[in-house]
Amino acid sequence: MSLTIGVDVGGTKVLGGVVDASGRVLATSRRDTPREGGSELTKTIAAVALELMQQHSITAVGVSAAGFVSSDRKTMLATPNIADWNGVQLEVELTKLIGLPVVIENDANAAAWGEAKFGAGRNQAHMMMLTIGTGVGGGIVVNNELYRGAFGIAAEFGHLRVVPEGHLCGCGARGCFEQYASGSALRRHAREAISASPDLARNLLARGDGTIDGLTGQAITDAAREGDAVALAAFQTTAQYLGAGIASLAVLLDPSCVVIGGGVIDAGEILLAPTREAMKRYMPFAGKHPYPEIVAAELGNEAGLVGVADLARN
Ligand SMILES: [Zn+2]
């Protein structure tokens, strides 16, 4: 059976895995992500792959990383969150170090492909995935193929403008989707709910250091699970924006399935149920067409690794 390696480059760790054709991870290797980025990061990826290649017969290596990847999957065009990696000819450099064919993919695209092939979106020819963490990443599968666009920036859902002149985003624009429907947005909505009802918010605040700034997404999720009204209000607001955004994306792409992944999905139905309601409420031509199902991702942190390993295989 053909084995490939997927390497997922994250902010803190570089995680590699040997993956078989059915999406099973047979072995893993990890290193810390070098803070200086650049050629040290490229060498770290190669070291992870070479270690795994010692134990298995590998045909190709896929690398998923945050940033804009050229549509020919060879060059990191821009990496806002990785130092000194802009414009790196990663495919050429890694092929030299590893000696195998290498494919590069944006991390959210790789995760979407993993879920489409082996996870919550399997058997769906038309699906999209939203990876909701600090920001919002996206991936689109059309006709069983990953959609990359002309210049490698397709599916950057997080930067769709949803509020004209809204909150300033890290990308430099205002009112981006991820300012309203991400893990960071959940905390913002919690802060607003606390300010609106300080008496009701005591229980929630007690889960952190007592201040609004000391409140983590995990604490808000834990409180919501126990029925805390303020925490649930923060999820409701996040879900309103998320559902409205998905309704707009459905008009554009008409998927049968929308997979939600990333850290925020730990909340499960606390987020998904109001998101489905909001999607229906905001959907144009309501009731005149089927709606996409909205489901939780199944592959967790391995989605990108498994997805990019499969992309390298084909
Ligand atoms: Zn933005």
How far, in Å, from the CA of 56 to the mean position of ligand 1?
41
Judge if 219 and 180 occupy the same domain: yes
Domain boundaries, position 21: 3-115+302-313
CA distances from 192 to 17, 123, 230, 274 (A): 41, 40, 10, 19
State how beta strands 293-296 and 257-261 pair: parallel
How far, in Å, from the CA of 312 to the mean position of ligand 1?
30
Q: What are phi and psi of 171, to 5 degrees?
A: -80, -10
Judge if 110 and 137 occupy the same domain: no
Residue burial 53-92, b: 16+ Cβ < 10 Å; e: rest: beeeebebbbbbbbbbbbeebbbbbebeebeebbebebbe
pLDDT digits (tens, 9 = 90+) for 19-50: 999 999 999 999 999 999 999 999 999 999 99
**Predicted local distance difference test score (pLDDT) of residue 80:** 85
Judge if 49 and 156 occupy the same domain: no
How far, in Å, from the CA of 69 to the mean position of ligand 1?
17
**Predicted local distance difference test score (pLDDT) of residue 43:** 98
How far, in Å, from the CA of 152 to the mean position of ligand 1?
16
How far, in Å, from the CA of 174 to the mean position of ligand 1?
7
Judge if 68 and 175 occupy the same domain: no
Could you tell me if 28 and 17 are in contact, meaning their C-beta atoms sit under 8 angstroms apart? yes
Judge if 198 and 219 occupy the same domain: yes
Judge if 22 and 149 occupy the same domain: no
* β-bridge partners, 275: none
Distance CA 124, CA 128 (A): 10
How far, in Å, from the CA of 161 to the mean position of ligand 1?
8
Contacts of 149 (CB under 8 A, 6+ apart): 71, 155
**Predicted local distance difference test score (pLDDT) of residue 225:** 97
Judge if 14 and 145 occupy the same domain: no
Written as six digits, the tokens of 161 are 């403008």
Judge if 182 and 227 occupy the same domain: yes
How far, in Å, from the CA of 41 to the mean position of ligand 1?
26
Mean pLDDT value of segment 101-130: 97
Judge if 157 and 284 occupy the same domain: yes
| DSSP-H helix ranges across the chain | 38-55, 90-98, 107-118, 183-196, 202-205, 217-225, 229-253, 269-282, 303-313
Distance CA 118, CA 116 (A): 6
pLDDT digits (tens, 9 = 90+) for 193-233: 999 999 999 999 999 888 888 899 999 999 999 999 999 99
Could you tell me if 56 and 18 are in contact, meaning their C-beta atoms sit under 8 angstroms apart? yes
The owner of tokens 């409701």 is 236
Judge if 149 and 269 occupy the same domain: yes
| Mean pLDDT estimate for the chain | 95
Judge if 90 and 183 occupy the same domain: no
DSSP code per residue over 56-116:
S-EEEEEEEESSEE-TTS--EEE-TTSTT-TTB-HHHHHHHHH-S-EEEEEHHHHHHHHHH
Maximum separation of any 2 CA atoms in the chain, in Å: 63
Q: How many domains does the chain have?
A: 2
CA nearest to 134, candidates 261, 12, 264: 264
Could you tell me if 51 and 45 are in contact, meaning their C-beta atoms sit under 8 angstroms apart? no
Q: What percentage of the chain exceeds 70 in pLDDT?
A: 100
Whether residue 59 is predicted with pLDDT greater than 80 in this model: the reply is yes
Which residues have a beta carbon within 5 Å of ligand 1, which is an ion?
Answer: 159, 169, 171, 173, 176
